[in-house]
């Protein structure tokens, strides 16, 4: 295992943060990139990375890593240090208010122009050419802030990977995944290994989150060069939502880490007998059919349904109680679907998103992700 340190742009004299990446195997074959806690207050991923590191250390020492595996056990040193009155603020950078998992720079057009005369009829050769050009473009892109340098570093480590796993969690939730529609055929086995209850599919969900910055280059290049050069979907990039924020236990993390190793072995990045695909415990549904449940009024929030419930349109999921007037407001599911995530805050402000139900029909348009 090779440890690499990546200094970020210093935001002030006497201050220097860095990202640390762990490198297993050797470049030249398939590459997998895994990072934990890009939202720095979402901690299940860090514990999974801890257990994954132990497994990969053993496999690497035994010469079992046949591809290249890069693990970033803590992907957001900026957010990890942000505390306001003892409360961890790991989702948004305090300087800009920007979500750490949004606004990754787009190099698609620049790379397409740079390599157009180097592409040909060989799809594998085209992938190699595009990966080299993309990595060069990412690493040479100018940055002006610490946040921009963090984004550049993370993309520089991941943009040439065959598999990208971005480990997150929700507030209180089932295991679930987010990926793009063209990635679903390659993601379906991962969903089985991770026992995901639902995978939410979109194609360009808005604001360029990290996972889509890695995967959407390929289908956009395929569209750009359609009829001229073959461009396969060369990156499976997935946001893995490791249940809820307090699901930070060795039992869960060890099992998740082993499931990731099993998937990597199934993909051929780790030597040994290919494991059998587990039975699917969930399915794929459109992200545009994942319906947010909002509180129209403020008050004490209490849930009547647990995550994992199959609900019908009109079912009451929660109630908001005005402590002054004693008025009760029912919050109902707008669709039939899987009640897969809810907030852990128990006082709702007016307009607050408090839960999500995954329906089967696409009903929303525009930007599909939350803030």
What CATH code is carried by the domain that includes residue 80? 3.40.630.10
Residue 363 placed within a domain:
no
Rounded to an integer, what distance in angstroms lies between the CA atom of residue 279 and that of residue 243?
Answer: 19
The residue out of 265, 281, 297 marking a domain boundary is 281
Are 105 and 234 found together in one domain?
yes
Helix-helix angle 108-115:123-140, to 10 degrees: 120
Are 243 and 352 found together in one domain?
no
Residue 50 placed within a domain:
yes
Q: What is the mean pLDDT of the chain?
A: 97
pLDDT of res. 110: 95
203 CB neighbour count, 10 Å cutoff: 17
pLDDT of res. 371: 79
The residue out of 249, 281, 313 marking a domain boundary is 281
Q: Where are the alpha helices (DSSP H) in 170-225?
A: 184-194, 210-224
Are 318 and 233 found together in one domain?
no
Are 330 and 192 found together in one domain?
no
One pLDDT digit (tens) per residue for the chain, 371 residues: 999 999 999 999 999 999 999 999 999 999 999 999 999 999 999 999 999 999 999 999 999 999 999 999 999 999 999 999 999 999 999 999 999 999 999 999 999 999 999 999 999 999 999 999 999 999 999 999 999 999 999 999 999 999 999 999 999 999 999 999 999 999 999 999 999 999 999 999 999 999 999 999 999 999 999 989 999 999 999 999 999 999 999 999 999 999 999 999 999 999 999 999 999 999 999 999 999 999 999 999 999 999 999 999 999 999 999 999 999 999 999 999 999 999 999 999 999 999 999 999 999 999 999 87
Work out whether the CA dihedral 96, 97, 100, 102 comes out positive or negative. negative
Are 259 and 349 found together in one domain?
no
How many domains would you assign to the chain? 2
Rounded to an integer, what distance in angstroms lies between the CA atom of residue 295 and that of residue 298?
Answer: 7
Are 79 and 179 found together in one domain?
yes
321 CB neighbour count, 10 Å cutoff: 15
Are 260 and 297 found together in one domain?
no
Residue 320 placed within a domain:
yes
Are 121 and 48 found together in one domain?
yes
Residue 366 placed within a domain:
no
Are 202 and 324 found together in one domain?
no
Residue 26 placed within a domain:
yes
Residue 163 placed within a domain:
yes
pLDDT of res. 293: 97
Q: 353 Cβ partners below 8 Å, 6+ apart?
A: 292, 293, 294, 343, 370
Using the 8-state DSSP alphabet, how is residue 289 labeled? G
Is the pTM for the entire model greater than 0.85?
yes
> For residue 351, what are the domain limits?
287-358
Residue 147 placed within a domain:
yes
Are 223 and 308 found together in one domain?
no
Helix-helix angle 210-224:108-115, to 10 degrees: 40
The residue out of 281, 306, 336 marking a domain boundary is 281
Rounded to an integer, what distance in angstroms lies between the CA atom of residue 274 and that of residue 267?
Answer: 8
Are 48 and 146 found together in one domain?
yes
Using alpha carbons, select from 81, 92, 88, 71 the residue that is nearest to residue 166: 71
88 bridge partner residues: 83
Residue 371 placed within a domain:
no
Are 177 and 223 found together in one domain?
yes
CATH of the domain at 322: 2.40.50.100
């Amino acid at each position: 295992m090779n440890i690499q340190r990546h200094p970020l742009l210093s935001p002030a004299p006497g201050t220097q943060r860095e990202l640390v990446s762990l490198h297993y195997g050797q470049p030249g074959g398939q590459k997998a990139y895994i990072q934990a806690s890009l939202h720095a207050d979402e901690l299940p991923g860090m514990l999974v990375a801890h257990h994954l590191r132990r497994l990969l250390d053993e496999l690497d020492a035994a010469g079992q890593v046949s591809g290249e595996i890069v693990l970033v056990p803590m992907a957001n040193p900026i957010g990890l240090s942000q505390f306001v009155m003892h409360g961890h603020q790991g989702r948004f950078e305090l300087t800009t208010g920007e979500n750490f998992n949004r606004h990754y720079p787009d190099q698609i057009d620049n790379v397409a122009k740079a390599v157009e005369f180097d592409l040909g009829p060989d799809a594998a050769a085209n992938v190699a050419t595009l990966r080299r050009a993309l990595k060069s473009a990412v690493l040479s892109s100018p940055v002006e802030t610490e946040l921009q340098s963090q984004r550049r570093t993370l993309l520089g480590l991941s943009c040439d990977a065959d598999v990208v796993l971005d480990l997150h969690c929700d507030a209180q939730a089932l295991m679930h995944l987010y990926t793009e529609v063209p990635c679903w055929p390659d993601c379906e086995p991962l969903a089985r290994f991770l026992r995901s209850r639902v995978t939410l599919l979109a194609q360009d969900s808005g604001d360029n989150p990290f996972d889509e910055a890695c995967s959407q280059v390929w289908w956009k290049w395929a569209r750009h060069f359609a009829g001229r050069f073959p461009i396969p979907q060369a990156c499976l990039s997935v946001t893995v939502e490791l249940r809820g924020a307090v699901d930070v236990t060795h039992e869960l993390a060890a099992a998740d880490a082993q499931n990731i190793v099993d998937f990597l072995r199934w993909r051929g990045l780790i030597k040994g007998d290919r494991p059998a695909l587990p039975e699917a415990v969930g399915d794929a549904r459109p992200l545009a059919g994942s319906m947010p449940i909002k509180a129209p009024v403020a008050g004490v929030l209490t849930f009547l349904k647990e995550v994992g419930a199959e609900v019908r349109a009109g079912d009451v999921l929660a109630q908001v109680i005005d402590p002054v007037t004693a008025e009760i407001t029912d919050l109902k599911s707008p669709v039939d679907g899987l009640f897969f995530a809810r907030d852990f805050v128990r006082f709702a402000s007016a307009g607050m998103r408090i839960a999500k139900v995954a329906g089967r029909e696409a009903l929303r348009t525009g930007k599909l992700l939350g803030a």
